[in-house]
Amino acid sequence: MNNATTLSIKDPIVEVKNLRFYYGASEALHNLNIDFPRRQVTALIGPSGCGKSTFLRCLNRMNDLVDGSRVVGSIRLNGTDIHSSAMDVIELRRRVGMVFQKSNPFPKSIYENVIYGLRIAGVKDRALLDETVEKSLKGAALWDEVKDRLHDSALGFSGGQMQRLCIARAIAVNPEVILMDEPCSALDPKSTARVEELIGELRKDFTIIIVTHNMQQAARVSDYTAFLYEGLLIEYGLTDKIFMKPKNKQTEDYITGRFG
């Protein structure tokens, strides 16, 4: 059964059709069909090993880096197949940014961390770089804390600040979609609350797809929720519906903590 195909999203930003993903001979994702809504937060939930991270990494072709992996099916970003020759993979990763479980700031200053993507793109205009740093740090709710220390190393900050810095770096290149792979799992409750608040702000400008193990977090931050189990998309819908009235018994068992 695949409820996802029955959920119609108007003007989706990402359309996934008949997606299968293989690690060598092993099929990790089985024929996923799901459309992601624009400027909304979608949570991917499911027990460990069900394929959440694999799926997330398909969306900006991070899995291309895994030897022996193979993708079948199509993923469209604003109508263009991300595997077509029309899509440059570097440009794809600019358009579909990523924030990881463990913050990964570079051993550089805060300023250089934020504009890293622009530097790679060869941008030299100082005013534009300054403006991007301020805008991105404000967007990541970090400006007030670091504005007097922009040229200090990013490595001296707290875990929560570093994760917000990684979010600032992700938004600095103006992506269309931001993928977040358990962005709060290494953070304390206070920093988690700040990042969750930030996700609420970011959804005004960006589409966010977030993997989380934390059911309360999925319920708090997301508009839509997709439940995966053993590489299958079991149920997909509005978060309120998935949590209050899931259609599928496996979804219900998972969200009520009966397994996983």
Ligand X SMILES: Nc1ncnc2c1ncn2[C@@H]1O[C@H](COP(=O)(O)OP(=O)(O)OP(=O)(O)O)[C@@H](O)[C@H]1O
Give 5-53 as a DSSP string.
Answer: GG---SS-SEEEEEEEEEETTEEEEEEEEEEEPTTSEEEEE-STTSSHH
Q: What is the DSSP string of 101-139?
A: SS----SSBHHHHHTHHHHHTT---HHHHHHHHHHHHHH
- Which H/E stretch holds residue 77? strand 69-77
The reply to whether 28 sits near ligand X by the rule CB under 6 A is yes
Using the contact rule CB under 6 A, the part of the chain among 32-40, 46-54, 239-247, 248-256 near ligand X is: 46-54
Mark the segment that binds ligand X (CB under 6 A) among 10-18, 51-59, 73-81, 240-248: 51-59
Q: Shortest approach of ligand X to residue 246 CB, angstroms? A: 18
Distance from C-alpha of 49 to C-alpha of 146, rounded to nearest angstrom: 38
Quick count: other Cβ atoms within 10 Å of Cβ 226? 28
From 50-58, 87-95, 127-135, 143-151, give the range in contact with ligand X by CB under 6 A. 50-58
**250 interacts with ligand X by CB under 6 A:** no
Q: Which of 44, 42, 38, 30 is nearest to 9 (CA)?
A: 38
Contact positions with ligand X (CB under 6 A) in 83-142? none
Least separation in angstroms between residue 78's CB and ligand X is 25
Site for ligand X in 139-178 (CB under 6 A): none
The three-class DSSP label of residue 68 is: coil
Instruction: Give 45's strand partners.
Output: 227
Least distance in angstroms from the C-beta of 15 to ligand X:
21
Backbone phi, psi, residue 2, to 5°: -140, 95
Pick the binder of ligand X from 41, 52, 103, 237 (CB under 6 A).
52
Nearest approach, Cβ of 212 to ligand X (angstroms)?
A: 9
Tell me how far apart the alpha carbons of residues 216 and 169 are, in angstroms, rounded to a whole number: 27
Among 6, 18, 49, 188, binds ligand X (CB under 6 A): 49
Interface with ligand X, residue 222, by CB under 6 A:
no
Using rule CB under 6 A, residue 183 touches ligand X:
no
Q: Which stretch binds ligand X (CB under 6 A): 43-51, 103-111, 146-154, 162-170?
A: 43-51
- Using the rule CB under 6 A, give the single segment among 49-57, 80-88, 141-149, 238-246 that binds ligand X: 49-57
Q: How far apart are CA 260 and CA 258, in angstroms?
A: 7
Contacting ligand X (CB under 6 A), which of 32, 41, 43, 50? 50
CB of 219 to ligand X, least distance (A): 18
| Nearer to ligand X among residue 208 and residue 228 (C-beta) | 228
Contact call for residue 72 and ligand X (CB under 6 A): no
Whole-angstrom distance, CA of residue 189 vs CA of residue 193: 6
- Contact residues: ligand X, CB under 6 A: 23, 28, 46, 48-54, 66
